[in-house]
Structure 1
C-alpha cells in the first residue's frame, strides 16, 4: 500500500481531518493489492467473469460527517420558518421539479435526478454518538444501537461476501478519543460474526513516498521524484525477485508509468481541474489509472 502523509488539521478530539491519502488500501484480510490480483486470477481460472470496468453488484459507501452541515442548511432550508430561525442560505431549483436545495450546491442541483433525499430519519435523543445514523436506533436499555445491528452488519448477514477473500462489511473509521465516533456500527443481536472488518495494526504496513506530504502535492516534480525513488529502491532490492507473481504485479502497478501519468494534472481536462479547484486540495489522481480503493480523510 502506498501512503502519502497529510497535514495536521485536526478534529476537536485530536484526530487529523485529512490525515493521509492511501492508494490500494485495506492491506489486511485479503484486501491488499496482491490479494486482489490473486483473487481476480483465481476467478478467471474458475471461469468466473471478472469485471474490471465496473462491479457486477451494488456496493454502498457510507460517509459519516461528524460535525457536518445540518440538513436544513443543505436539503431542507425551511423557508417558511421565521427569519430569525431559518438558515441564512437560499434555495435553488434542481433537475427534479419540487426539490430545491442550497444555493451553494449548484453541481448537485444539476444532477438531482441521480440522488435520493431521505427525509424519514428522526432526531436522536441527547446522545453524542452515531448510533441512529448507522443503525436507525439510538442507544437504549440494551446498549449501543439498543442491541440492533448496524446497516453494514445487516447487509453482511443478508447478502454475504461477493468474494470469499473480501469481507462484506469494512469499516475505515479513524480511532478517536470519543470512541462512539470511531465505531463503524455494531452487529447487535446478529453477533460478532457480522461485525465490521477494521484493518489496523502491523498488517497495515505501508510503502511510503517519504518526504512527500499533501502540502507538497502542488509541487508535482517533487511528487514524481518520490515515485522515481520508490521505483529505484525496488529495482535495487531483492524483495521484488523473492516476491510471488501477484506481489510483483502490485509493485509494477505502484511503479508504473500509468501511475505517474495519473499524477500529472497537466493531462487532466482544464474544466475538470477548475471544478475541483486548483491548489493543494485538488485531487491527486485521475480516474483512468485510479486504485481499487482511495480513502481520503
Structure 2
C-alpha cells in the first residue's frame, strides 16, 4: 500500500485516503506538489535574458530562516552598545581582518572570506512568511497576504521557470524542503508559489517526517532549545511490496476520478497527479532523494536534524540537475527563529549551531565538488529582531534591519556590504530592499531584473518590484 506521511486522513472533499488509494489517485494525497509538471509548458514570449553575458549561477539554494533571525546576535554585533541592546554574546574575529561576528558562529567566522555578508537588508513587510524575500514585494499585509493566494506575486523560481530558466526534465526545476511553509501548523504561508502565473510554476514539496514524537499541535516547547528536531525530508514512500510497474499501471485508473476532480479544480488536480506519479516513478528522482547514499561522516557534518539533512539534500538535488531548491526552517515545537522569548538560549543551544554547521558544510561541500562557482547560495529570513531586548529575554519583530548571506554563483567572496547605526536599528549605508535581494538572484541566473510578467488581470508587473542587483556583492 502507498503511504504518505504528514497529511490528514481525509481529502478536502470528504473522500477518505483509503478510497483514493484504491482508485489509484496520488493527486489528493500530495497537496504539497500542487502545480509543477516535470515538463512545464513554455511561458508566453522568450525570457528577458541579460544581453552579452552568460549566467554565472546555474542553480540556486535559498535557506529561509523562518521567524526572523536576530541580526545583532549573528552577523552585525554591537559590542559597544548599551546594556539591553548588545545582548549576552561576545564576538570573535573572522577570516576578514577587522570583521567580527557572534561567538557561536565559529565555523562561518573561519569561512567569512568565502561569503558576502549584507548587513543592511530593510523592508516594510512585518509578517511570518517568505512572501517578501521570495517575491521581492514588501507591500503585503497579514490580513490579505499571510496565506498563499492565486493572486499573489510569484516567487523568483516561479518567474524563472515561466521564462524557461530552470525547467526540469526528469527532475522538477523547483523543489522546496522539508515541506510547504506552514506544514507544522496546518496552514500554507505565502511566498514560494507561482501566484498569478499559475500553479504549474509552484514548487514540488518534499514530505517532512515527524520530529521525535514531539507534539506539534500546540505551542508547547515553542521556546525550548532542548527539544530535538530529528527526521529528514522524503519523497512519499511505497510500502507493502507495491512495485513501480504496478504503480505505473495504476496511472490509467486515475482518469476515473477526473470527473469528480472537475468539481474541485480539474487543472490543478491533473498537475498534482502528474507531478506525483513522475516523482515516484523517476529513478533519478528517487536516487537524488536517497540520503542513505551519502557517507555517514558527511551527514553528521551537516547535522542529523531535519534542517541539516534538508541542506544536504539541497546539494544532492542541485547535483542531480534541479535548478532551484529552497529550505524553509519551520517546525513546531521550536524549529523557528521567532525568538520573542528566551532568545539567547534558543540561539546558543539550537539555532546558531544549526546555522553554523549546515551552511559551512554546504559551502565546503560545494567547493570540494567544484560546484560553488555556479551554485548561488542565499541565506536570509523574514526580518531582523529589535535592538532592545524585551522583558522575556527575547527580541521582537524588526523588518527595518536584517542580514543576508551570499556564497558562490557569481557573488564576490570576502565582502561586507552595508552598515547600520550604533544599535543596529537602521541602515546608514547601502540599504538593501527585498526587491534588491530578488533582483540580485535574477541577475545571477541570467534573467533581466527589469523584466515584466502578466498578472491575473493581464496587467504587466515588474518581477523585481523596482529592485536592483546589489552591485557590491557581484563579481
Structure having greater relative contact order (Cα 8 Å, sep ≥ 6): 2
The structure with more strand, counted as a fraction of residues? 2
